[in-house]
A and B are shown apart, each in its own frame.
Chain A
Amino acid sequence: MNRLTAAFSSEARKVLRSKILWISILAFLMIPLVGGFFMFILKDPALARSSGLIGAKAQLAGTADWPSYFQFLSQAVAVGGLVLFGFVSSWIFGREYSDRTIKDLLALPIPRILIVLAKFITVFLWCLVLSLLVLVLGLWVGKIVVLPGWSGLLAVQGCKTFLLCAILTMVLCTPVAFFACWGRGYLTPLGFVVLSLIFAQIVAATGYGQFFPWAVPALLSRVAGSAIALPGNIGYFLVVLTGIAGLIGTSLWWRYADHL
């Protein structure tokens, strides 16, 4: 068996047997359900007015139509994904330190970088599955709620933006993995996730969001409104650069750091 395949299949087995996988699916599936519920409330202005705080929150999703609904899904994956995908990455890398199993992976007849790559592939696939589940359930919920404004072109554009937001957010998981290794557990990477989320809000508010990689997926999802420009090539380039830096940093850590 190819070494990378062997490493990946080991990682996959660990994930499939963990409770975290099912918890993450349940957590992420809340996105289309909440979005659909907001759309349902917004469809009836009288209901929205009488729903108090929920009605007010629902107003934030815009209007009850397919363009607003797609935008809501993209925004949720761009912002919620930063937290949940970050958590997935923290768990895949940080658990080896928390469970003290890291030492079993360091003196094996397989390059350490392949184990790191297998872990990143697992993170990517896990997050991709979560995103696709949200998209599929989202489309189904939108159909159930009978939202107006559907068109083939809109659906293609909506799905494209959603998936691009999801992929950009996944790419930003690699530095989280580095912090999980450097901090030898979950707390440091989760702290990093929270900080990056806070700074993304602040930097985006100053108008320089495209230069801060963690703000780029949210800008693409139009979370700041259509008046704010899309992140552009510089934004995407910085996200990819950050992703590569995280990948290289994590690999170098596994290869050269002292594993105490």
Chain B
Amino acid sequence: MNEVIHTVELSKHYGRVQAVEEISLSVRKGEIYGFLGLNGAGKTTTIRMLLGMIRPSSGASYLLGERIDGGNYGIWNQVGYLVEIPYSYPELTVKENLSIICKLRGIGDKKVVDQVIDQLQLEPYADIKAGHLSLGNAQRLGLAKALLHKPAVLILDEPVNGLDPAGIVEIRELLQNLAHQHGVTIFISSHILGEMAKLATRIGIIHQGRLLQEVDADQLEVLLRKRLLLNARDKTAALNALAGAGYSVRNNEEGFMEIIDDQAIQRPEEIACFMVQHNCPPTLLQVEEEDLESYFLRTIEETGGNVQ
């Protein structure tokens, strides 16, 4: 079975408020699916429906071919999850919190607690009460609970919230290793788009409850806009020469000249030669690619969404 997570026209409304509207998506085995959206876009509602915590108003979702339902509890053996800020029992230590989940998951091997503590680098905090942990370590504990039973599917809502830069890299590498080496399927929501760009193999953009776009990470390269940034000592002469040669050149808000012609972007050296020949040699020549954040905001705006 290739499709691990699958939703069919999944919708949720609260009275007249449409939180999620007919979302159909599928995530294949071993994929890291980045679920992007602004606050209130419907990410967490979708994730809670995927975890059987919220009943959909219509539509259905499936995990490993089984329909998700509050009564279909057997499926959670293969799923690890983290929803929003992970909270734990504050009066219990890190180890005790993990032992409780271990018991509830019916895991007989007590070594898994030590293993996951080691995996998430929580050893110094193992006997510290969860109520005394920093946000970053509380996040690690949340991830440890999700990974404790070595699940085939991970559903993570904002898993790098509160982590420092080194922690973010560490968790990224851990998740990449799980997906690429162990075939774990990961569904991850985040608003840290730079992180998603580095991690996800497929990206879905949700806005105002609707799934606007799904794109493979390797296709993203094609979709991201590129531009050639130029500067020269005599900018007016350079601008006139380039425009005269038929390039669509303009002065941008940052004070540079900008060309978006594909030919110029693919062969910037020709532009350099052209400028030298016209006595306005470039002082800057740089091909710049739109980042995921800009692409995300552009996608929302192009589909009539309000980014505020």
User: Residues of A at under 8 Å CB distance from B?
Assistant: 1, 3, 6-7, 9-10, 13-14, 17-19, 99-101, 103-112, 115, 255-256, 258-260
B66-74, B209-217, B295-303 - interface stretch: B66-74
Please state if B104 and A14 are interface contacts (CB–CB under 8 Å). Answer: no
**B81: interface (CB < 8 Å):** yes
Please state if B53 and A104 are interface contacts (CB–CB under 8 Å). Answer: no
Please state if B53 and A3 are interface contacts (CB–CB under 8 Å). Answer: no
Please state if A17 and B53 are interface contacts (CB–CB under 8 Å). Answer: no
Please state if A14 and B106 are interface contacts (CB–CB under 8 Å). Answer: no
**A103: B residues at CB distance < 8 A:** 51, 53, 83
A168 to chain B, nearest CB (A): 31
Mark each residue of chain B from 81 to 102: 1 if its CB lies under 8 Å from any CB of chain A, else 0: 1010101111110001001110
Please state if B106 and A109 are interface contacts (CB–CB under 8 Å). Answer: yes
Our pick among A106, A111, A260 for the contact of B51 (Cβ within 8 Å) is A106
Whether A14 contacts B89 in the complex (CB less than 8 A), given A1-B103, A107-B53, A108-B105, comes out as: yes
Q: List 17 A-B contacts (CB under 8 A).
A: A6-B103, A10-B104, A14-B91, A14-B92, A18-B91, A103-B51, A104-B145, A106-B53, A106-B70, A107-B51, A107-B79, A109-B73, A109-B76, A109-B105, A109-B106, A110-B73, A111-B73
Please state if A109 and B77 are interface contacts (CB–CB under 8 Å). Answer: yes
Whether A108 contacts B91 in the complex (CB less than 8 A), given A10-B104, A259-B53, comes out as: no
Our pick among A14, A104, A260 for the contact of B101 (Cβ within 8 Å) is A104
**B92: A residues at CB distance < 8 A:** 13-14, 17
**A256: B residues at CB distance < 8 A:** 55, 70
A96 to chain B, nearest CB (A): 9
The residue of chain A having its C-beta at the shortest distance from the C-beta of B101 within the complex is A104
10 smallest beta-carbon distances between A and B, as pairs? A100-B87, A109-B77, A259-B53, A6-B103, A107-B51, A10-B100, A258-B54, A109-B76, A107-B76, A17-B91
**B15: interface (CB < 8 Å):** no
B129 to chain A, nearest CB (A): 9
Bound Cα distance A7, B77 (Å): 16
* Max count, chain A CB within 10 A of own CB: residue among B48, B91, B100: B100
**A260: B residues at CB distance < 8 A:** 48, 54
**B304: interface (CB < 8 Å):** no
Bound Cα distance A1, B99 (Å): 14
B187 to chain A, nearest CB (A): 13
**B70: A residues at CB distance < 8 A:** 106, 112, 255-256
A185 to chain B, nearest CB (A): 14
A232 to chain B, nearest CB (A): 40
**B246: interface (CB < 8 Å):** no
Q: For window 3-31 of chain B, which residues contact chain A by CB distance below 8 Å? A: none
Q: For window 34-66 of chain B, which residues contact chain A by CB distance below 8 Å? A: 48, 51-55
Bound Cα distance A10, B101 (Å): 8
**B124: A residues at CB distance < 8 A:** none
Please state if B87 and A101 are interface contacts (CB–CB under 8 Å). Answer: yes
A93 to chain B, nearest CB (A): 14
Bound Cα distance A19, B53 (Å): 30
Please state if A112 and B73 are interface contacts (CB–CB under 8 Å). Answer: yes
Please state if B55 and A101 are interface contacts (CB–CB under 8 Å). Answer: no
Whether A105 contacts B104 in the complex (CB less than 8 A), given A111-B73, A256-B70, A260-B48, comes out as: yes
Bound Cα distance A17, B127 (Å): 14
The residue of chain A having its C-beta at the shortest distance from the C-beta of B44 within the complex is A260
| Additional pairs, 17, CB under 8 Å, beyond known A17-B89, A111-B73 | A3-B106, A7-B104, A13-B96, A14-B91, A18-B91, A100-B85, A103-B51, A104-B145, A106-B51, A106-B70, A107-B51, A109-B74, A110-B106, A111-B71, A115-B104, A259-B54, A260-B54
B202 to chain A, nearest CB (A): 23
**A17: B residues at CB distance < 8 A:** 89, 91-92, 96
Our pick among B48, B71, B85, B104 for the contact of A108 (Cβ within 8 Å) is B104
**B74: A residues at CB distance < 8 A:** 109
**B108: interface (CB < 8 Å):** yes
